[in-house]
Amino acid sequence: MAKDCEKSIVERVPRRTLAVNKRKANFAPVDLGLREEDAVREAQRCLGLQSCESCDMCDLLCPDLAITRDEASGKVVIDLEYCKGCGICAYVCPKGAIQMVLEE
Ligand code: SF4
Ligand code: SF4
């Protein structure tokens, strides 16, 4: 069975976009990109080894839809009622945040 990710969560930096009312009047790019400090934070989220990077690969590839994210804590939660223990989530996780363990 898959064991819940216990690593600390690093939230994604929200995307900055041009306000809708300003989009109507010009052809300026809608995606405003990242500020320097946000870009550094995103790079740390992606490259850090000690945290779940919130990439959602485990969630996307779980064939049994057994993985959700706790809204309050942001942690990845595995519903063992639905998990069939295939190990895909653990295999695709770039941080090794999900581990397969023997069921007791
Ligand atoms: S990918 Fe497989 S092991 Fe991971 S939670 Fe889904 S069913 Fe369980
Ligand atoms: S695949 Fe790993 S790093 Fe990505 S959201 Fe799932 S637990 Fe976090």
Which domains, from first to last, does the chain contain?
Answer: 2-100 (3.30.70.20)
- Report how far ligand 1's centroid is from the alpha carbon of 63 (Å): 7
User: Which pLDDT does position 73 carry in this prediction?
Assistant: 80
Q: How far apart are CA 35 and CA 48, in angstroms?
A: 19
Maximum CA extent, the chain: 62
Give pLDDT tens digits for 41-95. 877 766 665 567 788 999 999 999 999 988 888 788 899 999 999 999 999 988 8
Atom of ligand 1 nearest to the CA of 87: 3
Indicate whether this model's pTM tops 0.85.
Answer: no
Tokens 């400090």 map to which residue? Answer: 37
Task: Please check whether residue 67 is in contact with residue 88, taking contact to mean a CB–CB distance below 8 angstroms.
Answer: no
| Distant-in-sequence, close-in-space partners of 21: CB < 8 Å, separation ≥ 6 | none
Which DSSP letter does residue 98 get?
-
